[in-house]
Amino acid sequence: MPQKDIAAIILAAGKGTRMKSDLPKVLHQIAGRSMLGHVIRCAHEIGASRQIVVIGPDMPDVKAAAQNENPDAEIAVQYAQMGTADAVNAAREPLAEFTGDALVLYADTPLLTLPTLEAMLDARRAGAAVVVLGFRPDDPAEYGRLVTDESGDLEAIVEFKECTPAQREIGFCNSGVMAIDGALLFTLLSEVDNDNAKGEYYLTDIVEIARRHGHRCAAVEADPDEVLGVNSRVELAQAEAICQDRMRHAAMLDGATLRDPKTTYFSFDTVLGRDVIVGQHVVFGPGVKVADGAVIHPFSHLEGADVGTGADIGPYGRLRPGAEIGPDAKIGNFVEIKKARVEEGAKVNHLSYIGDARIGKAANVGAGTITCNYDGFNKHFTDIGAGAFIGSNSCLVAPVKIGDGAYTGSGAVVTEDVADDALAIVRPPQVEKAGWAKNFRQKNAGEKN
């Protein structure tokens, strides 16, 4: 596709009342990213150097989210909110001198793909003034119909209520997404009127206006999944399922094994290396990278974590933000790691919490060990040296350092540094009272009688 200036006008002013939520509709998340974020990302991938996000008045959260996703995003406000043409017209001032390709996208339609947008732009650059993205749903219901001529050019978009019986038989429906010649866009919009039942300005009218001025219009077909608009929690769940299936498919094509794909859940930025094996019921939150050959066992949850080559996580492993798991390290059953580096070959096998710490190369942390990193006000660091052995049920009270090759006895509460190769034992001596248990039983049995 030849390069040309592209502007994306992203409509995000809808209130989303059917979501029944205090959160603006377009900020609801799919795979750990807002719907608005997905659309901004897609616009970036297609090469849109200008991104104008159209919001309603008093939508500071949407404005902040847009500029967090793209600091260069421009914000336009649709004050009256009188239809889709009115929304696009809000971008008139920032795009007054723009003559490239204008894409009209919807922040509640988050599943568009790069090939589909490329096909629309190809059609636009082949001479169509307006290109509309259509789809063929199983049930066309009350979608607007796309009427094409014998050559395939788009003649009109007809709203369902205005369709003739013959037009209602058309299965090709309007998604609302468009690619428009930027040099014509606002000229066409200037002729859109609100002479309709709702008194609104409809973007769909520009097809008829463009043809009236002798311009050709075209339609490109997309898979119905791509143009799913999210207006309710039910549709949000449908979009999540479609997105997850896409990511699972891509992960397996890239060389990862998913033992039960339907129970693996990814975030938008999950990265899996080759020969990674993911067990059943694994959840990847945002910010996870897993290197080649690592194994993630069932029922594990990872977020904001880096997993090294050949590392072994779980089952029931919990990696929280800042977890760095080195090559061939082992994080086992019911182990939680937070903001800690576990170096090559180190093992934390059972029922432990490691936070704000370093576990040195080939160190072994026994079952039930915790780093006591929080004093109620501040977090403190625990440093465990290479080859160290931490006895089961140890409490390491940070800040503290366990030297290379050092041992701590089981049940130790370690509050002071332990030197290299030393053994720290922190517990009272065992006392044995001969016959005590027998006497205790006899006494209590007699009292019961």
Taking the C-alpha atoms of residue 65 and residue 60, their distance in angstroms, rounded to an integer, is: 9
pLDDT of res. 446: 75
pLDDT tens digits, one per residue of 214-271: 999 999 999 999 999 999 999 999 999 999 999 999 999 999 999 999 999 999 999 9
pLDDT tens digits, one per residue of 268-303: 999 999 999 999 999 999 999 999 999 999 999 999
Residue ranges covered by each domain of the chain: 6-227, 233-424
- In the predicted model, is pLDDT for residue 332 greater than 50? yes
pLDDT tens digits, one per residue of 393-415: 999 999 999 999 999 999 999 99
Architecture per CATH, 6-227: Alpha-Beta Complex (3.90)
Catalytic residue, candidates 44, 215, 350, 380: 350
Could you please report the per-residue DSSP string of 137-158?
A: -S--TTPPEEEE-TTS-EEEEE
What is the percentage of the chain residues whose pLDDT exceeds 90? 91
Residue 272: name the closest of 290, 257, 258, 254 by CA: 290
| CATH entry 2.160.10.10 includes domain 233-424 | yes
pLDDT of res. 2: 43
Taking the C-alpha atoms of residue 182 and residue 96, their distance in angstroms, rounded to an integer, is: 9
- In the predicted model, is pLDDT for residue 3 greater than 60? no
Q: Is 177 exposed, middle or buried (0-12, 13-18, 19+ CB in 10 A)?
A: buried
pLDDT tens digits, one per residue of 353-405: 999 999 999 999 999 999 999 999 999 999 999 999 999 999 999 999 999 99
Residue 28 falls in the annotated catalytic set: no
- Which helix H or strand E contains 234, and what residues bound it? helix 233-253
